Amino acid sequence: MGVKIKKDLAFRRVAGELFVVDSAKARLHELNGPAAVIWEGLTKGRGEAAIAAAMRGEFEVDARTALADIRNFTAELAAAGLLEESV
């Protein structure tokens, strides 16, 4: 069982940053470039390896660092209540 972005969130990329609105909680989240790539990977249902590859394509980062960033950021998203379990 993995995780995916929670339903009922609105988001849009502007000027390289991703803005996420959690209307139910009336909260606005702002994600930087690498975080936006991870977010967009999760919205497309991609796994860690695929997201890490996308990160390496956009940023100068090695695979190990990319995977660590994905795990850390995913934990942050979960803590913020922006993820749900995917079956």
Partner 1 sequence: MSIMRAAAKAPAACGRIGLKIAGFGFNFKSYSAGIISILEKRYGRFGVPGESGYDLEIVEARGSQTPFKPAVSFDGRTLELKRGDFEAVIDTRSRSGLVRVSPTEQCLDAFLRSLISFMLIRSGGFMLHSAGLVRNGKAYLFPGISGAGKSTLSKLAAGSGGGGVISDEINIVRLEQGRWRVYGSPFWGEMRADGRPGSWTLGGIYLLKKSAVNGISPCADAESYRTLLRCLVNFSSDAETAALALANTARLVSVYPAGRLEFSKETADFLRLIR
Q: Among residues 9 and 61, whose Cβ is nearest to partner 1?
A: 9
Q: Which is nearer to partner 1, 19 or 56 (CB)?
A: 19
Which is nearest to 69 in space by CA: 42, 44, 43? 42
CA–CA gap between residue 29 and residue 85 (Å, rounded): 20
Using the rule CB under 8 A, give the single segment among 9-17, 44-52, 67-75, 79-87 that binds partner 1: 9-17
Q: Is residue 85 a contact residue for partner 1 (CB under 8 A)?
A: no
CA distance 7 to 11: 11
By the rule CB under 8 A, 80 interacts with partner 1? no
